[in-house]
Amino acid sequence: MPITVGQDTAKTRRSLKVGSQSYAYYSIPAAEEAGLGDFSKLPAALKVVLENMLRFEDGKTVTTDDIKAFSDWGKNGGKNPDEIAYRPARVLMQDFTGVPAVVDLAAMRDGIKALGGDAQKINPLNPVDLVIDHSVMIDEFGNPRAFQMNVDREYERNMERYTFLKWGQTAFNNFRVVPPGTGICHQVNLEYLSQTVWTDTDQNGEEVAYPDTLVGTDSHTTMVNGAAVLGWGVGGIEAEAAMLGQPISMLIPEVIGFELTGRMIEGTTGTDLVLKVVEMLREKGVVGKFVEFYGAGLDNLPLADRATIANMAPEYGATCGFFPIDDETLRYMRNTGRDEDRIALVEAYARENGFWRDADYAPIYTDTLTLDMGTIVPAISGPKRPQDYIALDKAAKAFGEYVKGVRAGEDASSKEEIRWEGEGGQPEPRDIPGDEGSHKRGYVETDGGHYQLHDGSIVIASITSCTNTSNPYVMIGAGLVARKAAALGLNRKPWVKTSLAPGSQVVSAYLEAAGLQEDLDKVGFNLVGYGCTTCIGNSGPLDAPISKAINKYDLIGTSVLSGNRNFEGRISPDVRANYLASPPLVVAYALVGDMNVDITRDPIGQDQDGKDVYLKDIWPTQEEIAELVEKTVTREAFQSKYADVFKGDEKWRGVEVPKQETYDWPASSTYIQNPPYFQGMSKEKGAITNIEGARVLALLGDMITTDHISPAGSFKDTTPAGQYLLDRQVPVREFNSYGSRRGNHEVMMRGTFANIRIRNEMLDNVEGGYTLGPDGEQTSIYDAAMAYQEQGTPLVIFGGEQYGAGSSRDWAAKGTALLGVKAVIAENFERIHRSNLVGMGVIPFEFTGGDTRKTLGLTGAETVSITGLDSVKPLQEVPAQITFADGSTKEITLKCRIDTAIEKEYIEHGGVLHYVLRDLAKAS
| Residue 15 binned pLDDT confidence (cut-offs 50, 70, 90) | very high
Helix 912-923 vs helix 236-243: angle between axes, to the nearest 10 degrees?
20
Of 375-379, 384-388, 797-801, where does mean pLDDT reach its minimum?
A: 384-388
691-710+752-923 is a CATH 3.20.20.70 domain = no
Give how far Cα 338 sits from Cα of 129, 143, 231, 331, 643, Å: 18, 35, 19, 10, 12
791 has pLDDT over 80: yes
- Report the run of H or E that residue 296 belongs to, with start and end: none
- Domain limits, the chain: 380-633, 691-710+752-923
Backbone φ/ψ region at 693: left (φ over 0), alpha (ψ -120 to 50), beta: left
What is the pLDDT at residue 538? 75
Per-residue pLDDT of 24-40, as tens digits, reads 999 999 999 999 999 99
Fill in the amino acid letter for 372: D
Distance from C-alpha of 701 to C-alpha of 797, rounded to nearest angstrom: 11
861 has pLDDT over 90: yes
Distance from C-alpha of 433 to C-alpha of 440, rounded to nearest angstrom: 13
| Residue 215 binned pLDDT confidence (cut-offs 50, 70, 90) | very high
Identify the DSSP state of 192.
I
Per-residue pLDDT of 235-271, as tens digits, reads 788 888 888 888 988 889 999 999 999 999 999 999 9
Distance from C-alpha of 848 to C-alpha of 895, rounded to nearest angstrom: 7
What is the pLDDT at residue 625? 96
* CB distance 698 to 785 below 8 Å: no
What is the pLDDT at residue 713? 83
Reduce the DSSP state of residue 92 to 3 states and report it.
Answer: strand
Residues in contact with 412: Cβ distance below 8 Å, sequence separation at least 6, in sequence order = none
pLDDT averaged over every residue in the chain: 92
Per-residue pLDDT of 708-745, as tens digits, reads 999 988 899 999 999 999 999 999 988 988 988 999 99
What is the pLDDT at residue 415? 38
Burial of 436 (0-12, 13-18, 19+ CB in 10 A): exposed
What is the pLDDT at residue 695? 98
Distance from C-alpha of 7 to C-alpha of 13, rounded to nearest angstrom: 11
Mean pLDDT (whole number) for 831-845: 93
- Report the run of H or E that residue 5 belongs to, with start and end: none
What is the pLDDT at residue 447? 73
What phi and psi, each to the nearest 5 degrees, are found at residue 498? -105, 150
Residues in contact with 589: Cβ distance below 8 Å, sequence separation at least 6, in sequence order = 458, 461, 560, 579, 581, 595, 599
CATH superfamily assigned to domain 380-633: Aconitase, domain 3 (3.30.499.10)
Q: Each residue of 741-758: b (16+ CB within 10 Å) or e? A: bbbbbbbbbbbbbbbbbb
Per-residue pLDDT of 864-905, as tens digits, reads 999 999 999 999 999 999 999 999 999 999 999 999 888 999
421 has pLDDT over 50: no
425 has pLDDT over 90: no
What is the pLDDT at residue 712? 83
414 has pLDDT over 50: no
| Residue 1 binned pLDDT confidence (cut-offs 50, 70, 90) | low
Distance from C-alpha of 319 to C-alpha of 299, rounded to nearest angstrom: 24
- Report the run of H or E that residue 241 belongs to, with start and end: helix 236-243
What is the pLDDT at residue 567? 78
| Residue 417 binned pLDDT confidence (cut-offs 50, 70, 90) | very low
138 has pLDDT over 90: no
What is the pLDDT at residue 408? 82
Whose CA is closest to 470, among 307, 633, 255? Answer: 307
* CB distance 569 to 711 below 8 Å: yes
Distance from C-alpha of 270 to C-alpha of 260, rounded to nearest angstrom: 13
Tell which wins on pLDDT, 429 or 205: 205
* CB distance 194 to 783 below 8 Å: no
Residues in contact with 249: Cβ distance below 8 Å, sequence separation at least 6, in sequence order = 83, 84, 85, 86, 900, 901, 902, 903
What is the pLDDT at residue 221? 94
Whose CA is closest to 36, among 78, 74, 77? Answer: 74
Per-residue pLDDT of 305-332, as tens digits, reads 999 999 999 999 999 999 999 999 999 9
Whose CA is closest to 882, among 698, 699, 702, 694? Answer: 694
Q: What percentage of the chain reaches a pLDDT higher than 90? A: 76
Per-residue pLDDT of 573-586, as tens digits, reads 899 999 999 999 99
608 has pLDDT over 90: yes
* CB distance 741 to 719 below 8 Å: no
Per-residue pLDDT of 183-198, as tens digits, reads 989 999 999 999 999 9
